[in-house]
Structure 1
Amino acid sequence: MSDGAWRRGAARAWLRTAFDDGEIEEILTDVDELAGDRPGLRGLAVRAAMIARYPLLELRDRIHGNMTSGGARMMQMGEDMRLVARRLFRRPGFPLTSMAILALGLGAIIAVHSVVKGVLLDPLPMGEPDRLVALTMIDADGQRHRMTPGNVRDVAALNDVFSHVAAFGRSEVAFHTRDGGPPTVLRGGAVTPGYLATLGLEPVLGRAFVEADADPNTEPVVILSHHVWEQYFGSDPDVIGRSIDLGDNAWRVVGVAPPSLYPTSATVGGELPFSEADQDFFRPLRYGGDYWSLRRPHLLGGLARLAPGMTPQSATAALETLSTRLQAEYSENRNEQIVFTPLTEVVVGDVRPALLVLLLSVFLVFAIAAVNVGSLFLIREEDRQSERTVARTLGATPLRLLSQRILEASLICGSALVLGSVLSAGFIDVMQALVPYRIPRLADVTVDAQALGLGGLLSLVLAFVFGGASRALGSARGTALARARVTRPSSGRLQSLLIASQSALAVVVLVSALLLTRSFQALQATDPGVRATASWTLGLHGAGYDTDLILERVRALPGVRSAAVAYNHPFERTWQDGFVLVDRPMPNGDSTSVASIRPYGDGYFDAAGIPLREGRLPDLLDHEGEVRMAVVNEAFRRRFLPEGTDRSLQIRIPSADRRLGEGNSLYRVVGVVGDVRFLGPETDPDPAIYVPLRHFSVAGYQLLIRPASPGSVQLQAVRQAVHEALPDVAVDEAGTLAELHSQALARPRFNMMLIATLSATALLLCTLGSYGIVARTMSTRRREIGIRAALGAAGAVITRGVAVRALRPMALGVVLGAGASLATSRVLQSLLFGLSPVDPISLIGGPLLLLLVSGAGALVPALRALSVDPAETLRIE
């Protein structure tokens, strides 16, 4: 195409917004005469300026005319409204289909945007949350750990860096309700006195903790959470000063905490769960003696508030200096660094990737839906060529026809927005009900005004795009063209472009879904490490109770194969502690290292189904002897005992002397058991030391019950047996090991199902699009097909030609989408397990799936070419 032809084509496209074809030719002739033969850029600039003025002058004249005849204009708008409404009601299929597609897309965008804003973007309900940080420790391998008491004390001494520092740990107690029934379990935190001040919060009733409350020799005091105060005490303000029974002690209530997010425990890896179920109460962290000088047991979560004027960069440098000094002074700190993370990042960090991927996927599906609706508008505009010609003949101006198209699109998009806003509330409710894992603040999310504004903006843009584009592309080219009902090449090219675009977007979503599906399959295939997946686990909470009495009652129940108690169930994390190998060097050259300490009771390995790999398990005679026995897992042997174990191997756990008294730290390793993924199915097993409860007493137990056969144990009978044995012991919720393992897979499973649902929606929309374009092609080329058939063309050739022409743009979109997936799939890196983001099966399978399904959808109308009657076509001709 020559430059002159290109310029005249662009000029016609601009002038068509306000003039018909005859007027356009007159304007171009006038411009040529006025511009003369000015050469080069000067002539081009003169012509462009003159052409640009014409629509603007026309618009000015019309606005001036409208201002002088406002009543007439209002009457005209009313007529247009009635005309558009009649058209839509006369053929409701098009508007209803368009509204339904757009409403689903808009509703999903409003809902997901509300969730993302409420969870990720809104500030935390605390004082100056941007200055709050979480304290953790990192070892030489890059693994995070909880804080040690001694290191918390050292950080608290940096008064010029942190204005407040607090430590906390998990606390569970049995609470006797007023109805006299079995006790219930309350979960909260044992916190240092400055805990609430660090969070920037004050009690709604009473007072916060003071330093004297942390003294073990003073009266026990407690601060109730707001929801416990409401649920169990009826929001009674006189609860302050009252004594309540928690466990085996009477605790005096000194305050009620405000509603907020409270970290009350830290996992082994330093993460801070923000579950409302763990925020029932707060008690002082009451330890005396040399507890705050301990530097090996990683037991505590840490919080700090940056001092006024202190920047994160300066605070980081101060902690690096402190860590360097501690590494030089204490061997326990040799390979550890104290670091901090903004609390906002801790709260939302693990859910941010999934929510952002969800938001991106929803926008992609919405774009596919918008493309589909755009195709419907284009097809509708082609079907109205005769109607448009009649309107122009009767004096309708291009501007009025444009306003009618935009008004029609606005009614459809506006109705879709209203319906989508209603649907968004339902989508949020469904997400809150079905999300099987904890997302902080998700329960408080409602439809957000900002999200509604985004939906309104998208609707407005689509209304102008659908209305304006259909008017521009559907301009009449004469009554002969209208009578012939021939599809214009430009509209055909646009339809092909739309099909290619939605195919490319659909491929991106499909590849993402396949990646997450294959990742979940790999995660599901990992060995959890336990064989007795039908075993039940129940939490026992109380103080000073006899576990032997409980086990005697439970083991006597019918259908019970074995029962045992342990500090935690097999899939639960526990604390890490330091140890040394006696008379044997550590592989890394250090004097000490760390491993997870897992206290267990008699029969635990059988009840949990953890296999013995080497040696033996301690028996009752071992428990009665003076030498303490321990068992390690395979991960411990691989890391610390590369040359294997022997009967003389001994390990020392120094903190046991401090916990249990001198002479309790030496253990002989007599066996090696299989690895259990207690850090999560996606994490390699961590080294663990299993120590008998008889030689390592702790507070709080898990009861494990292995049935003789699935379903042979009645939980109600177990609860009754525990209550009869010890009425003051609270029994926590129950679950099988299979259910607990499934819960650990809940997050990747839900992510996979959500993206899979969106990809199925995208696939359906693309299939409908391919079906529609082929059906439209069949409709517009029916006479051509009939004539070709009459001239002897084979039906298969005709069908193939129709299908290939329709599938060509889809194939182009698939190729483009596959290329885009190579880039976008890397966004999923943090959500994948055992799978590369450029997994070839996913990158090839997504495009192939789209081609197969959409191709099948296109084949149905293409086969109708075989039913065209040549005789009927010739008769019409």
Structure 2
Amino acid sequence: MWQDLRFGLRVWARQPGLTLIVLLTLALGIGANTSLFSVINAVLLRPLPFPEPERLVRLWGVDKAQAQLAGDAGRNDYGASPIDVLDWRAQSHSFEELAVTGSGGATLITGEGGSVQVRSEGVSHNFFTLLGVSPVLGRFFETDSSGKPEDKVVVLSESLWRRQFGADPSVLGRTVTLAGKPCTVIGVAPLGLEPPLFSPRGAPDIWHPVALNEPPSMRGVRWYAVLGRLREGVTVAQAQAELDALNQRLEMDFPATNTGRSVLVMPLTESLVQEVRPALLLLLGAVGFVLLIGTANVANLLIARSVTRQRELAIRTALGASRGRLLRQLLVESLLVALAGGTLGLLLALWLTDVLVALSGNGMPRLQSVHVDGRVLAFTLAVSLSSGLLFGLLPALQGSRLAQQAAAGLPGRSVSTGRSQRWTRQALVAGEVALSLVLLVGAGLLLQTFWRLQRVDPGFQPQQVLTLELATPRPWTTTPEQALSNSMRILEEVRTLPGVIDAGSMSLLPLSDVEACQPVRVEKRAQGAEPPPCAEVRTSSPGYFRAMGLPLLSGRLFDARDTQGQPRVVVINSAMARRFFPGESPLGKRIAAGSSAEPPWMEVIGVVGDVHHFGPSKAPVPEFYKAQFQDPVWTYWLVVRSEREAGQVLSAVRGAIRRIDPEIPVFNVRTAEELLSGSVAQPRFRALLLGAFAALAMLLAALGIAGVVSWSVAQRTREIGIRVALGAQPRDVLRMVMGQGLAAVLVGVALGLAGALALTRVLEGLLFELTATDPLTFASGVVALTGTALLASYLPTRRALRIDPAEALRLE
């Protein structure tokens, strides 16, 4: 084996040009596969950093009416009420633990005159023990002898501990002020908890305990995320069946709040990755096609090289080398260059992985854990060895057979041998063309989807709009009146800033993909046996609609009349008007929303345009807006439309907020255009990546076609010279040489169309206003690939047109 390795190195060193082409081809294919596998490994394959992660589950609240309205039987609601969780914990036997978590924002005062705005997360006392993690420093939350969780304590994240407290161990026992409440630091949580696994708002900086002791009236208030750890031996299906039966009993016992409510039990890992898994697996298949095309090109090059090595291999056969010995030598040479290409590909993957992470935006979970580990190295090694066998086996078989023919005195350039090699190389080219066409069609479908999504009217005008998330700094001591007063003062101050056109506040921004659905009843309308349909609830200030650019279709918007103590009013969107008031004007009608026994009636005073709240690919859903000055909120978004640049406005807005209350935390600052761009981040990621793979595949296929035609010209130099000497015209030579390459292309196009029709079916769930058999996309792919093939065939064919008949015959 050592002798074969040394000889293989000398063989590749004697042909540096060929070696460089092979190495670059393999490095591109293997590097692209390795980088994408690194992402898949981190997102889909690597277990969560907790003990026995397969027993961890997420419990999603489900509103059956909203699920039916949306045509989705899966999760469609973010939270559960504390009372629900207490019932599940007391009456179920499938769970070892149930814990809750809910996120928010706050100002942290460190006690040394400094303050920092942090992302806080309230969790039940058993949150950390359920996950099975250990503190970096100190301890986690506990309960007293009566089971009551301790209060006025916090746990820091490791990143906050390091950046704000300099990783000082003496932080334990220090008193800090969180949202106006003095708290004692008791521990530091490890980094594995910091990714936003459970919160859609961002990675938490600090945790504080919450008690599940809400009054029965809070049963219908569902905003907690619920995690569970299954008992040993209990499956997800068993837990789901038990909770289904339990929730049926709760519906009977509490019809006002639990009618139409259910719960979906899902493995925690699955809940994180279910939306991105299809796209990642699709892209892995696409980049695998690119590698197959690259290996086919390398195989073609090695088949051509085997002809030039006939004399060498024949001599070795005559000296006693068996065919098996020759096969081993040739395969060792292939594996040697494949491993070298894999090494280069691994180095390339280190850069490509960063590119993939950057392109994916913030919509891909667990990206912070993407890195090269043992599994990625093993994948790269496996891909390299497999590639070496794929592109090396066929040339080795043909080369060893030619050597035996030559050693036995048979003509090495027999018609049968030449025909066999020609058909083999054309078959490889046809395969490359077929795979390239499948990728081109898939990329075309995704690019069209992305283009169509960008053209969807979001329902608002995003230009020159800045959004900021604000939170009440001291929620434990702030009354609704004080929260309302602060909101009004902030809006008044911001409106007076230079260049500001209008400003408003909103509980949930468009495209936030957070559900807040409430059952809605219409006054004086009989209710059937089914639970009332749902509509999304929002709370906004009077200036929000003008600041965001939502059109008023009829009626009026909120104004100074709509304050506390006045009759409650709502503004609804056009989708709600169509759903709840078909064929009639909703103005002046009254609705009631919520799960309580006697929710207040609210008069519809206006109808505004629809907003694609759940993304441009989802149809607008019924929404109604409550007046913030009648229903104060503690956390909301400030929306500012101005004539100036976002950076200039942001500085002025921050100054205005600090003048009113320097402890008001400000988060998630971004423009509305960034918000809109983020809503199509995943379609853009899929389209750009598959488009890049398709372009690379088409380039490799073109090189393969050019290589086949060049080899054909070299092999038929004497024949072409004779034809020219006998009077053949350039067009005759052009037709003869290009025809051989185009025959393989046409076969590949036919196979590719059949493959695209079959494989693009997996794209149906990723398309928007487009079918997987869109004729324009298929036709464009065929035209682009055929045109590229014609160009790739023509360039080397020009060499045949310049052949001098006398020189061709003299060479023979």
TM-score (normalised: structure 1)? 0.83
- Cα gap change, 1:82 to 1:575, in 2 (>3 Å): closer
Give the Cα separation in 2 of the matches to 1:579 and 1:613.
Answer: 24
Q: Contact 2:142 / 2:150 at 8 angstroms: preserved in 1? A: no
Q: Could you say which residue in structure 1 is the equivalent of 2:771?
A: 836
Secondary structure at the aligned position of 1:868 is classed as coil
Secondary structure at the aligned position of 1:682 is classed as coil
Q: Could you say which residue in structure 1 is the equivalent of 2:286?
A: 361
Kindly provide the amino acid, as one letter, of the partner of residue 221 in structure 1.
Answer: V
Give the Cα separation in 2 of the matches to 1:647 and 1:429.
Answer: 53
Q: State the 1:621 CA deviation.
A: 2.4
Kindly provide the amino acid, as one letter, of the partner of residue 261 in structure 2.
Answer: E
Residues 471-620 of structure 1 mapped to structure 2, 5 A cutoff: 471-474=396-399, 475-476=402-403, 477-478=405-406, 481=411, 488-541=418-471, 542-543=473-474, 544=478, 546-573=486-513, 576-585=516-525, 590=530, 592-620=532-560
Unpaired runs of 5+ residues, structure 1, are 1-73, 266-271
Residues 53-202 of structure 1 mapped to structure 2, 5 A cutoff: 78=3, 83-138=7-62, 139-140=64-65, 141=68, 142=73, 144-145=76-77, 146-176=79-109, 183-202=115-134
Q: Could you say which residue in structure 1 is the equivalent of 2:163?
A: 231
Q: State the 1:753 CA deviation.
A: 0.7
Q: State the 1:418 CA deviation.
A: 2.0
Q: State the 1:596 CA deviation.
A: 2.0
Q: Contact 1:297 / 1:577 at 8 angstroms: preserved in 2? A: no
Q: State the 1:244 CA deviation.
A: 0.9
Q: Contact 1:189 / 1:264 at 8 angstroms: preserved in 2? A: no
Give the Cα separation in 2 of the matches to 1:381 and 1:501.
Answer: 21
Structure 1, 429-438 or 246-255: larger mean CA deviation: 429-438
Query: 1:722 and 2:657 equivalent?
Result: yes
Give the Cα separation in 2 of the matches to 1:449 and 1:335.
Answer: 48
Q: Could you say which residue in structure 2 is the equivalent of 1:308?
A: 232
Identity rate of aligned residues, in percent? 36
Give the Cα separation in 1 of the matches to 2:693 and 2:213.
Answer: 56
Q: State the 1:858 CA deviation.
A: 1.2
Of 334, 356, 360, which residue of structure 2 is paired with 1:431?
356
Q: State the 1:832 CA deviation.
A: 2.2
Secondary structure at the aligned position of 2:562 is classed as helix
Q: Could you say which residue in structure 2 is the equivalent of 1:686?
A: 621
Residues 200-349 of structure 1 mapped to structure 2, 5 A cutoff: 200-211=132-143, 219-261=151-193, 272-273=198-199, 277-286=202-211, 290=215, 292=216, 294-329=218-253, 330-349=255-274
Secondary structure at the aligned position of 1:644 is classed as coil
Q: Contact 1:132 / 1:304 at 8 angstroms: preserved in 2? A: yes
Q: Could you say which residue in structure 1 is the equivalent of 2:593?
A: 653
Q: Could you say which residue in structure 1 is the equivalent of 2:666?
A: 731
Q: Which has the larger radius of gyration?
A: 1
Q: State the 1:400 CA deviation.
A: 5.2
Give the Cα separation in 2 of the matches to 1:840 and 1:103.
Answer: 35
Q: State the 1:754 CA deviation.
A: 0.9
The alignment covers a number of residue pairs equal to 787
Q: Contact 1:261 / 1:274 at 8 angstroms: preserved in 2? A: no
Of 635, 650, 657, which residue of structure 2 is paired with 1:700?
635
Of 697, 712, 718, which residue of structure 2 is paired with 1:783?
718
Q: Contact 1:676 / 1:685 at 8 angstroms: preserved in 2? A: yes
- Cα gap change, 1:273 to 1:375, in 2 (>3 Å): farther
Give the Cα separation in 2 of the matches to 1:358 and 1:97.
Answer: 25
Query: 1:849 and 2:773 equivalent?
Result: no
- Cα gap change, 1:807 to 1:177, in 2 (>3 Å): farther
Give the Cα separation in 2 of the matches to 1:750 and 1:743.
Answer: 11
- Cα gap change, 1:252 to 1:333, in 2 (>3 Å): same
Secondary structure at the aligned position of 1:278 is classed as coil
Of 567, 574, 581, which residue of structure 2 is paired with 1:634?
574
Q: State the 1:532 CA deviation.
A: 4.2
Q: State the 1:423 CA deviation.
A: 2.1
Kindly provide the amino acid, as one letter, of the partner of residue 458 in structure 2.
Answer: P
Q: Contact 1:116 / 1:355 at 8 angstroms: preserved in 2? A: yes
- Cα gap change, 1:742 to 1:685, in 2 (>3 Å): same
Give the Cα separation in 1 of the matches to 2:383 and 2:214.
Answer: 64
- Cα gap change, 1:584 to 1:866, in 2 (>3 Å): farther
Secondary structure at the aligned position of 2:457 is classed as coil
Q: State the 1:487 CA deviation.
A: 6.7
Give the Cα separation in 2 of the matches to 1:799 and 1:278.
Answer: 64
Q: State the 1:783 CA deviation.
A: 2.0
Of 657, 678, 701, which residue of structure 2 is paired with 1:766?
701
Q: Could you say which residue in structure 1 is the equivalent of 2:345?
A: 420
Secondary structure at the aligned position of 1:652 is classed as strand
- Cα gap change, 1:179 to 1:775, in 2 (>3 Å): farther
Kindly provide the amino acid, as one letter, of the partner of residue 192 in structure 2.
Answer: S
Kindly provide the amino acid, as one letter, of the partner of residue 615 in structure 1.
Answer: G
Deviations along 1:773-815, whole A, 9 cap, x unmatched?
1111111112212222222222212212211211111211221
Kindly provide the amino acid, as one letter, of the partner of residue 742 in structure 2.
Answer: L
Residues 13-52 of structure 1 mapped to structure 2, 5 A cutoff: none
Secondary structure at the aligned position of 1:621 is classed as coil
TM-score (normalised: structure 2)? 0.90
Q: Could you say which residue in structure 2 is the equivalent of 1:810?
A: 745
Deviations along 1:505-536, whole A, 9 cap, x unmatched?
11222222112111112222221110243211
- Cα gap change, 1:795 to 1:588, in 2 (>3 Å): farther
Query: 1:820 and 2:755 equivalent?
Result: yes
Kindly provide the amino acid, as one letter, of the partner of residue 323 in structure 1.
Answer: N
Q: Could you say which residue in structure 2 is the equivalent of 1:18?
A: none
- Cα gap change, 1:873 to 1:315, in 2 (>3 Å): closer
Give the Cα separation in 1 of the matches to 2:688 and 2:680.
Answer: 12
- Cα gap change, 1:667 to 1:456, in 2 (>3 Å): same
Q: Contact 2:571 / 2:605 at 8 angstroms: preserved in 1? A: yes
Secondary structure at the aligned position of 1:620 is classed as coil
- Cα gap change, 1:406 to 1:315, in 2 (>3 Å): closer
- Cα gap change, 1:328 to 1:838, in 2 (>3 Å): farther
Give the Cα separation in 2 of the matches to 1:288 and 1:395.
Answer: 88
Q: Contact 1:192 / 1:214 at 8 angstroms: preserved in 2? A: no
- Cα gap change, 1:239 to 1:369, in 2 (>3 Å): same
Secondary structure at the aligned position of 2:741 is classed as helix
Secondary structure at the aligned position of 1:643 is classed as coil
Q: Contact 2:60 / 2:226 at 8 angstroms: preserved in 1? A: yes
